[in-house]
A = this chain, B = another copy of it.
Amino acid sequence: MTGDAAARRTLGVGMVGYAFMGRAHSQAWRTVGHFFELPFAPRMAAICGRDHAAVAAAARRLGWAAWETDWKRLVDRDDVELVDVCTPGSSHAEISIAALEAGKHVLCEKPLANTVDEARAMAAAAARAAAVGVRAMVGFNFRRVPAVALAKELIAGGRLGAVRQVRAAYLGAHLVDPEFPLVWRLRAEEAGSGALGDLGAHAVDLAQYLVGDHIAGVSGLTETFVRERPLPEGGGRGPVTVDDAALFIARFGGGAVGSFEATRFATGHAEGLSVEVNGELGSVVWELGSLNQLRVFDATADPATQGFRTVQVTKAGHPYAGAWWPDGHTIGYEHTFTHEARDLLVAIAAGKDPVPSFADGLQVQQVLDAVQRSAAAGSTWTEVAA
Which A residues lie at the B interface, using CB under 8 A? 1-6, 8, 20, 23-24, 26-27, 30-31, 34, 46, 52, 56, 59-69, 73, 150, 154, 160, 164-165, 167, 169, 172-173, 176, 178, 219-221, 223, 225, 245, 247-249, 251, 255, 257-259, 261, 263, 265-272, 278-283, 288-293, 296-299, 303-312, 314-315, 317-318, 324-335, 378-381
| A6 interface neighbour in B60, B290, B299, B315, Cβ under 8 Å | B60
Bound-state CA distance A8–B328 (Å) is 37
Bound-state CA distance A3–B58 (Å) is 12
Q: Is the CB of A304 within 8 A of B308?
A: no
Query: Given contacts A3-B67, A154-B305, is CB(A329)–CB(B31) below 8 Å?
Result: no
For A24, A270, A309, which residue has the most chain B Cβ atoms within 10 angstroms?
Answer: A309
Q: Which residue of B lies closest to A41 (CB)?
A: B60
Bound-state CA distance A160–B2 (Å) is 53
For A62, A248, A330, which residue has the most chain B Cβ atoms within 10 angstroms?
Answer: A330
Q: Is the CB of B225 within 8 A of A164?
A: yes
Q: Is the CB of A68 within 8 A of B164?
A: no
| A52 interface neighbour in B1, B24, B381, Cβ under 8 Å | B1
Query: Given contacts A60-B6, A261-B259, is CB(A271)–CB(B329) below 8 Å?
Result: yes
| A30 interface neighbour in B34, B59, B219, B290, Cβ under 8 Å | B34
- What are 10 A-B residue pairs whose CB atoms fall within 8 Å in the complex? A178-B280, A225-B255, A249-B249, A267-B279, A291-B330, A292-B332, A296-B305, A298-B305, A303-B317, A307-B311
Which B residues are CB-close (under 8 A) to A268? Answer: 278, 282-283, 297, 299, 306-308
| A315 interface neighbour in B5, B178, B304, Cβ under 8 Å | B304
Which B residues are CB-close (under 8 A) to A64? Answer: 5
Which B residues are CB-close (under 8 A) to A251? Answer: 221
A231 to B: closest C-beta gap in Å = 21
Q: Is the CB of B247 within 8 A of A266?
A: no
A164 to B: closest C-beta gap in Å = 5
Q: Is the CB of B282 within 8 A of A267?
A: yes
